[in-house]
Structure 1
Amino acid sequence: MPPAPEQKAIRMADLLGAFSFASSLGRGAPPEHGARCCHIGMHIGRELALSSGEQTNLYYAELLKDSGCTAWTSKLAAFWLTDEIAARRAYVALNPKHPWKNPSNPLKLLSWLMKYVGVGAPLATRAGMVMEHVRRSPEFLREGFENACHVASRIAQRLDMPQPVQDALMHTFEQWDGNGLLYGTKGEAIPLISRIVGVTCFVEGFHRMGGREAAKQVVIERRGEALDPTVVDAFLSASQDERFWEGLEQEPVWDRVRSMEPEGSPHRYFVEDKLWNIALALADFADLHLSSTAAHSRRVAETADRIARRMAAPQPEVEAVRYAALLHDVGIVTVSSFVLSKPEDQLTDAEREQMHLHPYHSERILSRVPAFKFVAPLVAAHHERMDGQGYYRRLPGTQIPLGARIIAVADRFDELVYPLPNRAVLDVEQVVGVMRHEVGRRLCPDAFQAFAEELEGAAPVPKARRSEWPAGLTDREVEVLRLVGRALSRREVADALFVSESTVRHHLEHIYSKIGVSTRAAAILYAMEHGLLN
Structure 2
Amino acid sequence: MLHYDSAHFDARSSDSTSLSEILGAFSYALDLTEGQPAGHSLRACWIASRMAVALRLSAADRRTVYYATLLKDLGCSSNAARIAELYLADDRKVKQEHKLLAVGLGPTLRYVFTRTGQGERLGARAKAILAILRDGNAIVTELIQTRCTRGADIARQLRFPEPVAQAIAALNEHWDGSGKPLGLRGDAIPLAAQLALLAQIADVFHAAGGPRAATEEVAARSGSWFDPALARCFAVLVARAPGFWADLAHPALEARVRAFEPKEQRVAVDEDYLDDIAAAFGAVIDAKSPYTGGHSGRVGAYTESLGRALGVEGATLRTLKRSAMLHDVGKLAVSSRVLEKPGKLDDTEWEEMRSHAAHTTAILSRIAPLRDMAAIAGAHHERLDGRGYPLGLDAMRIAREARIITVCDFYDALTADRPYRAALPVEQALDIMAGEVGKAIDGEVFAALREIITQ
TM-score (norm 2): 0.92
* Residue pair 1:405, 1:443 contacting (<8 A) in 2 also: yes
Q: Which residue of 1 aligns with 2:445?
A: 447
Distance 1:190-1:400 versus aligned 2 partners, 3 A rule: same
Q: Take 1:295 and 1:113, find their aligned partners in 2: how far apart are those partners?
A: 31
Q: What is the CA-CA distance between 1:38 and the residue it aligns to?
A: 0.6
Q: Are residue 15 (structure 1) and residue 13 (structure 2) matched?
A: no
Distance 1:102-1:444 versus aligned 2 partners, 3 A rule: farther
Q: What is the CA-CA distance between 1:366 and the residue it aligns to?
A: 1.7
Q: Deviations over 1:96-128 (max 9, x none)?
A: x33xx653485554221251xxx545x444422
Q: Which residue of 2 aligns with 1:409?
A: 407
User: How many equivalent residue pairs?
Assistant: 442
Q: What is the CA-CA distance between 1:302 and the residue it aligns to?
A: 1.3
* Structure 2 residue runs without a partner (length 5+): 1-12
Q: What is the CA-CA distance between 1:15 and the residue it aligns to?
A: 2.3
Equivalent of 1:40 in 47, 50, 62: 47
Q: Which residue of 2 aligns with 1:132?
A: 131
Q: Which residue of 1 aligns with 2:3?
A: none
Which shows bigger deviation, 202-211 or 348-357? Answer: 348-357
Q: Take 1:438 and 1:90, find their aligned partners in 2: how far apart are those partners?
A: 43
Q: Which residue of 2 aligns with 1:468?
A: none
Q: What is the CA-CA distance between 1:419 and the residue it aligns to?
A: 2.5
Q: Deviations over 1:23-53 (max 9, x none)?
A: 1111111120000001111111122111111
* Residue pair 1:329, 1:362 contacting (<8 A) in 2 also: yes
Q: Deviations over 1:235-262 (max 9, x none)?
A: 1111122232221132453122122221
Q: What is the CA-CA distance between 1:176 and the residue it aligns to?
A: 0.9
Equivalent of 2:38 in 16, 27, 31: 31
Q: Deviations over 1:121-152 (max 9, x none)?
A: 5x444422221122123311211111111111
Q: Are residue 262 (structure 1) and residue 265 (structure 2) matched?
A: no
Q: What is the CA-CA distance between 1:10 and the residue it aligns to?
A: 4.4
Say which SS state the counterpart of residue 183 (structure 1) adopts: coil
How is 1:294-309 mapped onto 2 (pairs within 5 angstroms)?
Answer: 294-309=293-308
Q: Deviations over 1:297-335 (max 9, x none)?
A: 111111122222222234444333212111111121111
Q: Take 2:164 and 2:245, find their aligned partners in 1: how far apart are those partners?
A: 26
Amino acid at match of 1:256: R
Say which SS state the counterpart of residue 357 (structure 1) adopts: helix
**What RMSD in Å do the two structures reach over aligned CA positions?**
2.1
Distance 1:380-1:105 versus aligned 2 partners, 3 A rule: closer
Q: Take 1:80 and 1:417, find their aligned partners in 2: how far apart are those partners?
A: 30
Q: Which residue of 1 aligns with 2:141?
A: 142
Distance 1:91-1:103 versus aligned 2 partners, 3 A rule: farther
Amino acid at match of 2:209: G
Equivalent of 1:364 in 362, 365, 381: 362
Q: Take 2:217 and 2:108, find their aligned partners in 1: how far apart are those partners?
A: 19
Q: Are residue 54 (structure 1) and residue 53 (structure 2) matched?
A: no
* Residue pair 1:247, 1:256 contacting (<8 A) in 2 also: no
Distance 1:40-1:318 versus aligned 2 partners, 3 A rule: same
Q: Take 2:91 and 2:124, find their aligned partners in 1: how far apart are those partners?
A: 18
Distance 1:213-1:356 versus aligned 2 partners, 3 A rule: same
Say which SS state the counterpart of residue 346 (structure 1) adopts: coil
Distance 1:107-1:61 versus aligned 2 partners, 3 A rule: closer
Q: Which residue of 2 aligns with 1:70?
A: 77
Distance 1:249-1:314 versus aligned 2 partners, 3 A rule: closer
Equivalent of 1:373 in 371, 374, 377: 371
Q: Which residue of 2 aligns with 1:423?
A: 421
How is 1:217-228 mapped onto 2 (pairs within 5 angstroms)?
Answer: 217-228=216-227
Q: Take 1:190 and 1:248, find their aligned partners in 2: how far apart are those partners?
A: 27
Say which SS state the counterpart of residue 194 (structure 2) adopts: helix
Q: Take 1:273 and 1:393, find their aligned partners in 2: how far apart are those partners?
A: 33
Q: Take 1:57 and 1:181, find their aligned partners in 2: how far apart are those partners?
A: 21
* Residue pair 1:58, 1:193 contacting (<8 A) in 2 also: yes
Equivalent of 2:398 in 372, 397, 400: 400
Which shows bigger deviation, 307-316 or 216-225? Answer: 307-316
Q: Take 1:169 and 1:108, find their aligned partners in 2: how far apart are those partners?
A: 26
* Structure 1 residue runs without a partner (length 5+): 459-534
Q: Take 1:247 and 1:92, find their aligned partners in 2: how far apart are those partners?
A: 22
Q: Deviations over 1:345-377 (max 9, x none)?
A: 621222212211112212222222211223212
* Residue pair 2:171, 2:197 contacting (<8 A) in 1 also: yes
Q: Which residue of 2 aligns with 1:347?
A: 345
Say which SS state the counterpart of residue 72 (structure 1) adopts: helix
Distance 1:120-1:346 versus aligned 2 partners, 3 A rule: farther
TM-score (norm 1): 0.79
Say which SS state the counterpart of residue 293 (structure 1) adopts: coil
Distance 1:87-1:273 versus aligned 2 partners, 3 A rule: closer
Q: Take 1:105 and 1:442, find their aligned partners in 2: how far apart are those partners?
A: 48
Q: What is the CA-CA distance between 1:206 and the residue it aligns to?
A: 0.9
Q: Take 2:178 and 2:283, find their aligned partners in 1: how far apart are those partners?
A: 32
Q: What is the CA-CA distance between 1:429 and the residue it aligns to?
A: 0.9
Q: What is the CA-CA distance between 1:339 and the residue it aligns to?
A: 0.7
Equivalent of 2:384 in 369, 383, 386: 386
Q: Deviations over 1:447-467 (max 9, x none)?
A: 1122122223x2xxxxxxxxx
* Residue pair 2:24, 2:42 contacting (<8 A) in 1 also: yes
Q: Take 2:110 and 2:75, find their aligned partners in 1: how far apart are those partners?
A: 32
Q: Are residue 111 (structure 1) and residue 114 (structure 2) matched?
A: yes
Q: Deviations over 1:151-203 (max 9, x none)?
A: 11111111221221111111111111111122121111211111111211111
Q: Are residue 319 (structure 1) and residue 318 (structure 2) matched?
A: yes
Say which SS state the counterpart of residue 291 (structure 2) adopts: helix
